[in-house]
Amino acid sequence: MPDKSLKKPFVHLIGAGPGDPGLITVKGRESLGRADVVIYDYLANDDLLRFARPDAELIYAGKIGGHHNREQWQINALLVEKALAGNVVARLKGGDSFVFGRGGEECEALVAAGIPFEIVPGVTAGIGVTAYAGIPLTHRGVTTSVTFVTGHEGHDKEVSQIDWEGLSLGSGTVVFYMGIKNLPQITANLMAHGRPPETPVALIRWGTRPEQEVLTGTLADIAEQARRTGFRAPAITVVGEVVRLREKLRWFDNRPLFGTSILVTRAADQAGEFGAMLGALGARVLECPTIAIVPPESWDNLDAAIASLDRFHWAVFTSVNAVRFFFERLAAAGKDSRALGNCRVCAVGPKTAAALAPFGIRPDLIPADYKGEGVVEVFRSEEIAGKRIIFPKGDRARDVIPQGLAELGGEVTAPVAYRNVTPDSLPAGVIAELEERRITCVTFTSSSTVENLAAILGENRFLHLLKGVTIAAIGPITARTCRELGLEVHVEPSKYTLAAMTDALVDFFSRSK
């Protein structure tokens, strides 16, 4: 670790955007990754913290509805303290630091202490949240102006600085930040100063996130609607005729999986792709790795097989993990894919075939049925009697392939290329999500993901927490394991791929609506 005494202090004030982690700027993400210390807010999405360095100090400094983890002066002092200790500090704030973010006050403290800094602008809530709600702030023929206003003025102000008459008599869009608590006063002031009671209003809570909520009404009734429905902060209020365009232009919250919370139980390094597919369709995705893929306890058997690859006639790969570990070990032996020159290759499905492609290998066989039984079946059309077959596998792989190919006359060598181990615990918050019934669906992509979750939770708790939850299994083997452990399977795609699983989930939840 570098000597901090030799480093110059520096502070990045980073606007994190309104919630969707994809809305942080490239510069914001890069600045976050350089920081020794990250001081982050309540409205900055925690998912962004994965872009911080693993050794970075993470400090929460959030403010929720007047309940402050730290007062503003304490945050200012903390920034100065951490920077003067020789750190590069990232101050991660929701939205944009200079739009109702008190970023100016923090910069004044840094200037007073002689600490250099930079401002990394962010997408402010008034722009990002309204776009995700399908409400254009300006629209030809409707309005050509927009005003951003705080809905929560400081308690030390005896006289409001808000020009209510100007806001009311003008025809432009008005966006109030942090105004839910004061909504009755806001609407009353606008109507008292001339804004028509029938003026459309939208309240947007947790905008740009999968849990986004939108409530629409008019100046006359929106405060009562919010009270009756329990609509709470954090939210912005949009006032103006542009709100009428929402039903025509809404796109974010009418996606097929919007409103669902889906638990992905794949290994941590493999959950991202599936999670991204589900998230793009509107799901709130929680990654909950119930397996970890690690090297075998000994490489001896795989190394011995690799040393004699020229003896084999076939290589069979049934997972991306098998491809990864096999070729890593092949490289460790000083070899590359040319060592498979005497082999024909079988891949269990398109994902495994895609994993082979970077090594210049196109499979000779891909079964129509993407499972072990399908591999055995496709070999029935090949003459493999007396042929030597290498089958790098996981330690929990079923015996279907080696037994089936042996029955066809093949001589199968099946070295363990990787192990599937059970994590000691689940990610923080997952248990609470299950206990509070906030999880809509749990997805299982292998028998191991089911077995491991049951092992971590214990059988009784496993069944209790998953009762009433939609269960999705990627194929018949995984589905059978689910049923053996007492679960009812609701979603099972006809093809055993993540894309097919995603399509099946869309179909299921579309029919359920």
* Cβ atoms within 10 Å of 345's Cβ, excluding its own: 19
Cis peptide before 493 (omega within 30 of 0): no
7 is catalytic: no
The residue assigned the tokens 């011995």 is 304
Q: Which of 475, 471, 513, 473 is nearest to 494 (CA)?
A: 475
Task: Return d(Cα 448, Cα 453) in angstroms, integer.
Answer: 8
Using a 10 angstrom Cβ sphere, with 0-12 exposed, 13-18 middle and 19 or more buried, the burial of residue 424 is exposed
The tokens describing 411, both together, are 């001589």
Question: What is the sign of the dihedral through the CA atoms of 252, 253, 255 and 257?
Answer: positive
Q: Tell me if 402 sits within 8 A of 391, measured CB to CB.
A: yes
Q: Which residue carries 């990787």 as its tokens?
A: 418
Q: Are 187 and 222 in contact (CB under 8 A)?
A: yes
For residues 291 and 328, give the distance between their C-alpha atoms in angstroms, rounded to a whole number: 20
DSSP state letter for 294: E
Those residues with Cβ within 8 angstroms of residue 178's Cβ, 6 or more apart along the chain or in another chain: 100, 150, 151, 152, 233, 234, 236
- Annotated catalytic residue within 20, 82, 96, 178: 178
Of all helices (H) and strands (E), which one includes residue 63? strand 63-64
- The Cα 177–Cα 234 span in angstroms is 9
Catalytic site includes residue 41: yes
Which one from 63, 181, 351, 495 is the annotated catalytic residue? 63
User: By three-state DSSP, how is residue 320 classified?
Assistant: helix
Give the SS3 label for residue 213: strand
**Pairing label, strands 235-239, 213-218:** unpaired
The alpha carbon dihedral of 73, 78, 81, 87 has a sign of: negative
Active-site residue, selected from the candidate residues 20, 36, 41, 253? 41
**277 catalytically annotated:** no
Query: Residue 107 is inside which H or E element, if any?
Result: helix 103-112
**Residues designated as active site:** 41, 63, 178
